[in-house]
Amino acid sequence: MNCNGAALLFSRKYTLTSALAPSPLNTVRLSANAALRLLSWLPLPALHRLGSVIGRTIHLFPNRHSRIIERNLQLCYPTLSDTERASLVARNMRETGKNLTELGAFWRWPKAKIASLVTEEVNPQLLQSALADKKGVIIAAPHAGAWELIGLKLTCHRSMHFLYRPNRTSQIDSTVLQARERFGGKCHPITRQGLSALVRALKQGELIGILPDQEPAIDHGVFAPFYSVPAYTMTFLPNLAQRTGAAVIFAVMERQASGYRLHYLQPDKAIYDPDPEISSAALNRCVERCVDVAPAQYMWSYKRFRKTPEGLNPRY
């Protein structure tokens, strides 16, 4: 879980004005901080209703996000009927809207109020046991459910380190960093120094967070099946676990009608295999299990299959 996913959602493509206003008004945009402040005044149910309306509104018109979602679902769920797939696309757009509007709560509400949002934890003993070993813990949280809340919830009780890729828009970057670090989180850029900081944190028995379903840079991944489709997959997370001896735990923050349910999932043991193809395939199997917790809440608008193995046609 790094800071990139939130920056993606809270970019100019996802501002309230661009979602709801006619094209001539798109030049008049709320700043990130002003929008967050506005949203933070609303209770969580209202935020989710607003997000659902935004998602439905965007889905009414042809747009690239809906097209990417539909294409990903075709690839990952080939047995779905056209009707089932269309329904899942519509639900996913509504959940994407909620993912945007709830940032007002996540990034501005006080610590006690944030902690109270998580009404249930599934398998919390996995994290407690791993922390007790004092070998460091890697929380692998895919773009599923309210992934931004996972880090905030955990940093209510302990320090935590995250990777992030600096955003080209400095205002978004500073907003994300301030929000992520306000309870004791520490964001590190994807640089040699940032990666070294993560290694040191794990060797000191600390907690770090990584988004395991991001497409890595060239020469930093291998192709491994994701829902049986070859996806360029990071080798960094398995390598980090092998190098430090840290435990890997997958996490999903499932969005519910009232509050959130935090799931901890034990990884496939093959994720610790030194063979990058074996460990990366295991990583993707774990991500699939996370997605299966709430398929409509996964970020299907991400071009997960942008890179293709040599000889195959582009997927998008």
**Looking at residue 250, what is its pLDDT?**
98
**Looking at residue 11, what is its pLDDT?**
42
54-101 residue pLDDT tens? 999 999 999 999 999 999 999 999 999 999 999 999 999 999 999 999
Alpha-carbon gap, residue 114 to 259, rounded angstroms = 10
Q: Could you tell me if 161 and 167 are in contact, meaning their C-beta atoms sit under 8 angstroms apart? A: no
**Looking at residue 116, what is its pLDDT?**
95
The overall average pLDDT reported for the chain is: 88
| Range of weakest confidence among 6-15, 92-101, 128-137 | 6-15
Mean pLDDT over residues 137-141, rounded?
Answer: 97
Domain positions in the chain are 4-104, 118-297
Alpha-carbon gap, residue 221 to 309, rounded angstroms = 12
Question: By percentage, how much of the chain surpasses pLDDT 90?
Answer: 75
Q: What is the largest CA-CA distance in the chain?
A: 58
| Range of weakest confidence among 2-6, 112-116, 298-302 | 2-6
Please name every residue paired with 248 in a beta bridge, in sequence order, or none if there are none: 138
Identify residue 52 by its one-letter amino acid code: S
Identify residue 37 by its one-letter amino acid code: R
Q: Would you say residue 114 has pLDDT above 50?
A: yes
More confident residue, 274 or 2: 274
pLDDT class for 9, splitting at 50, 70, 90? very low
38-55 residue pLDDT tens? 999 999 999 999 999 999
Mean pLDDT over residues 234-243, rounded?
Answer: 95
pLDDT class for 23, splitting at 50, 70, 90? very low
pLDDT class for 127, splitting at 50, 70, 90? very high
**Looking at residue 172, what is its pLDDT?**
59
**Looking at residue 288, what is its pLDDT?**
98
**Look-up of token digits 């009780």:** 157
Q: Would you say residue 295 has pLDDT above 70?
A: yes
Is the CA virtual torsion 219, 222, 226, 230 positive or negative?
positive
**Looking at residue 4, what is its pLDDT?**
52
**Looking at residue 95, what is its pLDDT?**
97
146-175 residue pLDDT tens? 999 999 999 999 999 998 776 665 555 677
Alpha-carbon gap, residue 191 to 116, rounded angstroms = 35
Mean pLDDT over residues 7-18, rounded?
Answer: 39
